[in-house]
């Protein structure tokens, strides 16, 4: 699986999922929104503030100063269990690749945010529901190892339905792998931040998502360990509407803050400014792609 998509992606900043229609209906206020406007407003409904799920590259474009140097694109999925149900796993991967314009459920690389060089990982629900298989685990681990080598802060945006069933126990083991990588990274005194976006559940929430120094939740995102349906089936009753929302988690003390997407970049920059000593960044770390390609 070579890289042709990326070349296309470079040109189109607001690449979106396969549905190429011009209009999108806000599921909260029913407003019909022009996709191009939505792209410009970071996929937040200008009328009611509803946060659409965001494509990884749109997210990256909304955050970084200039260039984004992607790494880990040579880490690509295989079919370790030879899984076939309705369709073979490989076919599912092909379809998601086509539909999402992504090679897997996370994009990793380097960039600067208001001049702060950071290692950045962004998960995308459009690819297999953001599930963590071996590629997500390996790319996140690789990102943390590369960031550790360069002593850069690392920020990961999570969006995940949990572990990827079709990779079985190999998927589950990515929880152990990523947790270990985070622990090593943080033990060196580096800053690890996560931004939990809609939805963040299962194996991703129970590993690196909730292991961070700072945990920011995007407004109204659904976040938890067990899925809502599983809980409802277990307790045999409907859950309150706010259950497992970012706001609920804030009250329960699970996250440091809840931020509206439109203020997210500014907030992250402010947090970096507190947590990272800007004066100690070496000149080579200040520019991309120089530092990333070391």
Partner 1 sequence: MNLIVEREKGLVELEARVTALRERDAASDEVRVLERKVEELRRDIFGHLTPWERVNMARHPKRPIASDYLAALDRFDELHGDRHFRDDPALIAGFAKLNGRRVMVLAQQKGRDTKENIRRNFGMVSPEGYRKARRLMELASHLGLPIVTFVDTTGADPGIGSEERSQAEAIAACLTTLTEANVPIVATIIGEGGSGGALAIALADHVIMAENAVYSVASPEGCAAILWGDSARAPEAAEHLKLTSQDLLGFGIIDEIVAEPLGGAHRDAAGFVGRMLATIDNALAGLAPLSADALRDARYTKYRRIGARRDESGPRMASVLT
Cα separation, 294 vs 154, whole angstroms: 17
What's the min distance (Å) between Cβ of 23 and partner 1? 26
Instruction: Give the footprint of Zn ion on residues 34-63 (CB under 5 A).
Output: 45, 47-48, 50
Neighbours of 125 (CB within 10 A): 23
Q: What is the DSSP letter of 80?
A: T
177 is a site residue for partner 1 (CB under 8 A): yes
Binding partner 1 (rule: CB under 8 A), the pick from 46, 114, 243, 287 is 243
Binds 198, which of Zn ion, partner 1, none (CB < 5 to 8 A, cut-off by type)? none
Binds 47, which of partner 1, Zn ion, none (CB < 5 to 8 A, cut-off by type)? Zn ion
- Stretch of 7-15, 20-28, 38-46, 47-55 lying at the interface with partner 1 (CB under 8 A): 7-15
Question: For residues 121 and 154, is the Cβ–Cβ distance under 8 A?
Answer: yes
Name 171's Cβ contacts closer than 8 Å, sequence gap at least 6: 131, 132, 133, 134, 137, 163, 164, 165, 203
27 is a site residue for Zn ion (CB under 5 A): no
Rank residues 150 and 164 by Cβ distance to partner 1 and give the closer one: 164
Q: What is the DSSP letter of 211?
A: G
Phi, psi values for residue 213, rounded to 5°: -60, -45
Q: What would the x/- binding string for partner 1 be over residues 190 to 209, using CB under 8 A?
A: -x----------xx-xxxxx
262 is a site residue for Zn ion (CB under 5 A): no
Hey, which residues does 196 pair with through a beta bridge? 158, 217
Helix H or strand E encompassing 119: strand 116-123
Question: For residues 83 and 94, is the Cβ–Cβ distance under 8 A?
Answer: no
Sign of CA dihedral 107, 55, 201, 196: positive
* Three-class SS state of 79: coil
Binds 283, which of Zn ion, partner 1, none (CB < 5 to 8 A, cut-off by type)? none
Binding partner 1 (rule: CB under 8 A), the pick from 25, 27, 239, 284 is 239
Binds 287, which of partner 1, Zn ion, none (CB < 5 to 8 A, cut-off by type)? none
DSSP string, 1-22: --SHHHHHHHH-TT---S---S
Instruction: Give the footprint of partner 1 on residues 34-93 (CB under 8 A).
Output: 57, 60-61, 66-76, 78, 80-81, 83, 85
What's the min distance (Å) between Cβ of 221 and Zn ion? 16
16 is a site residue for partner 1 (CB under 8 A): no
What's the min distance (Å) between Cβ of 125 and partner 1? 15
Instruction: Give the footprint of partner 1 on residues 101-160 (CB under 8 A).
Output: 109, 133-135, 137-138, 141
Per-residue CA distances from 213 to 68, 172, 182, 250 (Å): 24, 23, 10, 15
Question: Residues in contact with Zn ion, total (CB under 5 A)?
Answer: 8
Cα separation, 44 vs 114, whole angstroms: 22
Hey, which residues does 192 pair with through a beta bridge? 154
What's the min distance (Å) between Cβ of 40 and partner 1? 18
Binds 105, which of Zn ion, partner 1, none (CB < 5 to 8 A, cut-off by type)? none
25 is a site residue for Zn ion (CB under 5 A): no
- List interacting residues with Zn ion (CB under 5 A): 26, 28-29, 31, 45, 47-48, 50
């Amino acid at each position: 699986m070579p890289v042709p998509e990326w070349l296309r992606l470079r040109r189109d900043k607001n690449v979106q999922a396969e549905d190429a229609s011009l209009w999108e209906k806000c599921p909260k206020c029913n407003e019909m929104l022009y996709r191009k406007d939505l792209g410009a407003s970071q996929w937040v409904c200008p009328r009611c503030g509803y946060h659409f799920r965001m494509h990884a590259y749109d997210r990256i474009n909304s955050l970084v100063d200039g260039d984004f140097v992607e790494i880990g694109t040579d880490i690509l999925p295989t079919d370790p269990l030879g899984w076939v149900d309705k369709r073979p796993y490989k076919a599912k991967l092909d379809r998601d690749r086509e539909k999402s314009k992504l090679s897997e459920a996370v994009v990793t690389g380097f960039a600067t945010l208001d001049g702060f060089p950071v290692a950045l990982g962004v998960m995308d629900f459009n690819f297999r529901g953001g599930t963590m298989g071996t590629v997500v685990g390996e790319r996140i681990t690789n990102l943390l190892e590369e960031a550790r080598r360069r002593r850069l802060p690392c920020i990961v945006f999570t969006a995940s339905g949990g572990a990827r069933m079709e990779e079985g126990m190999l998927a589950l083991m990515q929880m152990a792998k990523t947790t270990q990588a985070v622990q090593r990274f943080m033990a060196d005194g580096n800053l690890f931040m996560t931004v939990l976006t809609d939805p963040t559940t299962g194996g991703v929430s129970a590993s690196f998502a909730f292991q961070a120094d700072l945990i920011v939740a995007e407004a109204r995102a659904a976040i938890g360990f067990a899925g809502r349906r599983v809980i409802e089936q277990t307790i045999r009753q409907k859950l309150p509407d706010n259950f497992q929302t970012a706001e609920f988690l804030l009250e329960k003390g699970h996250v440091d803050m809840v931020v509206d997407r439109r203020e997210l970049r500014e907030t992250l920059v402010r947090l970096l400014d507190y947590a990272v000593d800007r004066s100690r960044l070496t000149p080579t770390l200040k520019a991309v792609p120089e530092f990333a390609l070391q």
